[in-house]
Chain A
Amino acid sequence: MNGTTTRDADRPLTAAPAVPPPPRGPLGRLGWALADGWTITVRDLTHWVRRPAQIIVGLLFPVMVVLIFGYVFGGGMVVPGGGDYREFLMPGMFAMTMVFGIEATFTAVANDIGKGVTDRFRSLPMARSAVVTGRGAADMLNSALGLAAMIVCGLAVGWRWHNGPGAALAAVGLLLLLRFALLWAGVYLGLITKNPEAVMAVQILVWPLGFLSNTFAAPATMPGWLAAIAEWNPMSATVSAARELFGNPGWGGDSFAAQHAMALAVIWPVVLLAVFFPLSVRRYRRLSH
């Protein structure tokens, strides 16, 4: 402190800036909640600007995985029913990017709780929902950017969509739906652990989800029990549906999960949402108990 700061006691600290009164009606309250949510989103987006390296590393990691699997291991991979391995791989990598986003959500939520930032938000005259909706919006934007980067990467390695832009957009929608469902799993886990360092534990949960799937290899090539897990993995449903919509080679399969991938790609995220959204809301409310 340079000594001149807190000693000028005669300067009035009580010259409070004027603030608008809290809104009354439901519409006013909604506007309030949206404005506050946006402030939190801007906060998270500002992190991108202040830590560009982090963003770039975050975007480069899946690109690296694509290169390793597409070119290093890809030569030895055979797509059941024929087809280019990189065309097979890319929809899986898109989904993987969505699934790994859970780590960012978890870390941010746990960090804010652990540091007392969430408590400070809760002591402010702001919409309480904004803390979570703002975070969610930022994470969805972040993942959308990540997905866009992966699509560019895919185009560069020879991946294409073959069923027109409409089906391609539907695939993107399913991918983002998966991310949206996992967002709430990340929020919930962050709220219960309150410790950003526990992200290691989350990775232990997330990596099997990413790899025990049909992303890199067809479940038909795995031992029976593992194949069942991989087929029923929520991520696999999204991957299969995305392959179908993009017109990329898939592994087919005749199990129920494989036959109904499109429906499961909607049902699974909705189930995850139905579980984790109420859990998160309840957990957040329980902060005041």
Chain B
Amino acid sequence: MTDTQPITPAVVDAKIEKVSIIVSKGSLEGIYPALIMANGARNEGIEANLFFTFFGMDAVHKDRHDHIKVATVGNPGLHVPSLVGVIPGASALMTKYMEKQIEKLDFPGIAEFVEMISDTGAGLYACLASVELFGMDRDDLIDELDDIITVGEFYDMAAGGQIIFT
């Protein structure tokens, strides 16, 4: 190969019609972007479904969705050394700071955001395997949740759209 040609990106004129967003992490930075994407999709007229699995289920857990925290350990983007991040209260402090920023911008907190997304007509689903794994009941999860489904049902529902994993 002596002659290299730049790769021309294909011109894509197609519109995204449907997105299925999987939320697998239980940190603020794991959940919030997924909520922004789901909400943004609905506001653009795109069909959107959110699937909560593993620790991501905290976003739809009645007792936990008001206490989602920023990860201060193993999170290089935060620019706080992990050794500092392990200090008791570090995560709570960082979370307070982020929550203040969110409030300042008049963005919703996680619990309010999830409710709002449900109102936009997006579907909210929890993963059956995770519900079993963590020994949860339907009652542990918020009323807005549409259903607890299997991975097979998820793929059926996601068919024909884009799948985003966060």
Q: Do A and B come from one complex?
A: no
Which residues of A line the B interface, CB within 8 A?
none
